[in-house]
Amino acid sequence: MSRIYTRGGDRGETGLRGGARVPKSDSRIEASGDLDELNACLGIARAEMSPAMHDLAEVVERIQHELFILGAEIASSLTPGEKPPAQHILPRHIQRLEADIDHFYAPFKDLNTFVLPSGGRAGSHLHLARTIARRAERALSHLSKTHPVREEVMSYVNRLSDALFALALSANRADSFTESHPDYTR
């Protein structure tokens, strides 16, 4: 069995896809870290889902796989004209997220206010994942100021937070939680 540690990062650098070395503070590494954290949070949400949430769990697992695809693209050297990895975010990934949003948000279409990010364990973790997705989106926006980031990547991450909101509402509904709205009079 090979070692998990390489000692390559002991001096504050890490490797990108293709072998280039960059500081661990590089904006690509920041964005990759946010995507990794998001994926782990989705794993917790999925672990908290009851068997009745099988359809939600399947969507979350698919998103986890897609986050690895996205992470591989972000971990490339991102030089102008460089081809993305063989597996990269495509319009079909965005279209699937939009279909998920339409499907899972349909019962809540009359919702016209914010909701407190709470509920059952799965729903609460999905709300947390939504906030991490927003942070990842901000990191990718920041990255795009210095490195090329394909439009599909930005669109995917933007849709992802909306999909996670719809999934959180659906998970809470499956766990018999009703949305609580913010009380602005406190």
Name the DSSP class of 14. E
pLDDT of residue 88: 87
- How far apart CA 46 and CA 56 sit, in angstroms, is 8
Q: Is residue 32 part of a domain?
A: yes
Helices (H), the chain: 27-47, 54-74, 91-105, 121-143, 151-174
Q: Is residue 181 part of a domain?
A: no
Does 12 have pLDDT greater than 60? yes
What's the rounded mean pLDDT across residues 135-160? 95
- Please determine, for residue 7, whether its predicted confidence score (pLDDT) is greater than 60: yes
Give the whole-number percent of the chain exceeding pLDDT 90.
Answer: 63
Is residue 154 exposed (0-12), middle (13-18) or buried (19+ Cβ within 10 Å)?
middle
Q: Quote the number of domains for the chain.
A: 1
Residue 51 lies in a domain: yes
Calculate mean pLDDT across residues 150-165: 96
**Cβ atoms of 74 and 148 closer than 8 Å:** no
Residue with tokens 């000692």: 7
The answer to whether position 12 is within a domain reads no
- pLDDT bracket for residue 84 (50, 70, 90): low
Average pLDDT over residues 73-90: 75
Residue 54 lies in a domain: yes
**Tens digits of residue pLDDT in 97-130:** 999 999 999 999 888 888 989 999 999 999 999 9
Does any domain span residue 97? yes
What distance in Å separates the CA atoms of residue 162 and residue 164, rounded to the nearest whole number? Answer: 5
pLDDT digit string, tens, across residues 147-156: 889 999 999 9
**What is the pLDDT, as a whole number, of residue 174?**
96
Its sign, for the CA torsion 119, 121, 126, 132, is positive
User: Model pTM?
Assistant: 0.88
Q: What is the DSSP string of 127-169?
A: HHHHHHHHHHHHHHHHHTTTS---HHHHHHHHHHHHHHHHHHH
Q: With CA atoms as reference, report the closest residue to 74 among 161, 140, 8.
A: 140
Query: 156: domain CATH number?
Result: 1.20.1200.10
The pLDDT of residue 73 is above 90 = no
Place of tokens 């081809």: 83
How many other C-beta atoms can be found within 10 angstroms of the C-beta atom of residue 73?
Answer: 20
The pLDDT of residue 87 is 80
User: What domain range is 109 assigned to?
Assistant: 22-174
pLDDT given at position 9: 63
45-63 confidence digits (pLDDT tens) = 999 999 999 999 999 999 9
For 103, the 3-state DSSP assignment is helix
Q: What percent of the chain has pLDDT over 70?
A: 82
In a domain, 183, yes or no: no
Taking the C-alpha atoms of residue 110 and residue 106, their distance in angstroms, rounded to an integer, is 9
4 located within any domain: no
Q: Give the residue with greater pLDDT, 129 vs 87.
A: 129
